[in-house]
Structure 1
Amino acid sequence: MQTLLNKALNSGSNSTNISVAILILRIAGGAFMLTHGLGKFEALFSGEPIQFRDPIGVGATASLALAVFSEVLCAVLLIVGLGTRLAAIPLAITMFVAAFIVHATDGFGRQELPLLYAAVYISIALIGAGKYSLDNWLLKK
């Protein structure tokens, strides 16, 4: 990783710098979201009664399962860069639900973080996985 970073910082190649920036954005956005999702994943399979908000009216268990799908599976896919554009979509939707439904009455202070995450995921969905990803590696073959 150090060599990759040195190469990006010392080269005049804008494309390498962009690829490293996308890699950093994917890893940070995925890893930070994974910290939120792992607790939900444990709750889903703990055997305890599900106590989770039902912000979209599909039931607490289904809402929790959708959050786990997004915050764990899609976050991991984002980190490794596999199906990146598609993986970013559920993450962005989850963050919009958090900001505008779950925290609708909490004020901007509670909406700010999910909106920041949503901006990251929308950006990744638009620009793709970048050079340093499984998507790129698989498409080259």
Structure 2
Amino acid sequence: MNASAPRGNAGLAAATLMLRIAGGGFLLPHGLGKLLGWFGGPGLAGFAAELQQFGFPSAQPLPLLLALVQTLSGLAVLLGLWTRVSAALAAVFIATTVVVAVPKGWFWMHGGMEYPLMWLLVLLGLVAAGGGAWSLDGLRRRGAA
């Protein structure tokens, strides 16, 4: 951190870092669970069955494509690499879980939308703010200056 940087800039850098750790740290293991079956995840075959259960097409390549989107966007958000685009892509993915959960009401304990909506808002915050100074995007900006 630059000691001469205004205090607000350090606060914004810290805030975006925390949002990236939360958002990317949430997406990445869930994506790897769908993609590779890690962390108790369903793997591609199980994810295809989940998609079918919710009325989505389950034929390949859709499960693979969605698992890759979640995994790669999670990693990119975590690192702050192409943050706005990565978070926007992830937000589209998460928005579908919000839509699926709407009929079950608000509370997540009953399958409602509050939990996925919270993650959607985290991702949309990163779309608005970008990766911040303490990100690979910030490093690229400083290198270009």
Give TM class, smaller chain.
0.7 to 0.9
Is the 2:34–2:47 Cα contact (8 Å) retained in structure 1? no
Aligned residue in 1 for 2:101? 103
- Whether 2:80 is the aligned partner of 1:81: answer yes
* Gap runs ≥5 in structure 2: 37-42
2:14 is aligned to: 20
TM-score, normalization by structure 1: 0.79
Q: Kindly, what percent of the aligned residue pairs are identical?
A: 28
CA distance in 2 between partners of 1:49 and 1:122 (Å): 25
- Which position in structure 2 is the counterpart of 1:114? 116
Relative to the length of structure 2, the TM-score reads 0.77
Q: Which runs of 4+ in 1 moved over 6 A?
A: none
- 1:71 equivalent to 2:73? Answer no
Distance 1:139 1:56 in 2: 43
Match of 2:92 in 1: 93
Structure 2: which amino acid aligns with 1:89? A
Q: Secondary structure at the match of 1:108?
A: coil
Aligned residue pairs, count: 131
Q: Is the 8 A contact 1:89 1:121 kept in 2?
A: yes
